[in-house]
Structures are given as structure tokens and as C-alpha cells.
């Protein structure tokens, strides 16, 4: 599996590039096709970041990530 740095992940924010990616527990997920991540924003969360610590504030569990493709590993 391809590995990405936090700097590389930050470019996949829906603004700098078309890809919209987020990381959770070391895995990077492609959320580009999700209508909830349009323009790289999901409520108060921004794409291109590691959302592991922010999940505690979310109204859903980590199972939400199962519907998205894993595109890499966060270094």
C-alpha cells in the first residue's frame, strides 16, 4: 500500500487538487465521491487531515469509514 506524509495528504483537500482524502487511524480514505464532503468540507471538518482525534465529537462511529476506499497509509 502506498504511503503518504501529512504534507502529501494535506494537498488532497478538494481545493489544491480534485482528490478529497481524510485519514483515520493511520489509513487514508478517498471521500471524493461523498456528497457530505463537497468542496473538501464536512461540517466543521476539513479534508486533507487526520481526523482520528476528531471522531470523538462526531455523531457517528468509525464504521462510517467502511464505505470509503483506502488509498494509502499515513506516515
CATH label of the domain that carries residue 12: 3.10.120.10
pLDDT confidence of residue 56: 77
| Per-residue pLDDT band at 51 (split at 50, 70, 90) | very high
Mean pLDDT across 41-56: 91
* Structural domain boundaries, residue 13: 3-74
The model's pTM is 0.92
Number of structural domains (the chain) is 1
List the Cα angle 70/73/75 in 5-degree steps: 160
Measured in degrees and rounded to the nearest 5, phi and psi for residue 20 equal -125, 105
Amino acid at each position: 500500500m502506498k504511503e503518504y506524509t501529512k504534507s502529501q495528504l494535506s494537498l488532497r483537500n478538494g481545493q489544491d487538487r480534485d482528490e478529497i482524502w481524510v485519514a483515520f487511524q493511520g489509513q487514508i480514505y478517498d471521500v471524493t465521491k461523498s456528497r457530505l464532503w463537497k468542496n473538501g468540507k464536512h461540517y466543521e471538518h476539513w479534508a486533507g487531515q487526520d481526523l482520528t482525534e476528531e471522531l470523538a465529537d462526531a455523531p457517528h462511529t468509525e464504521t462510517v469509514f467502511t464505505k470509503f476506499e483506502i488509498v494509502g497509509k499515513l506516515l
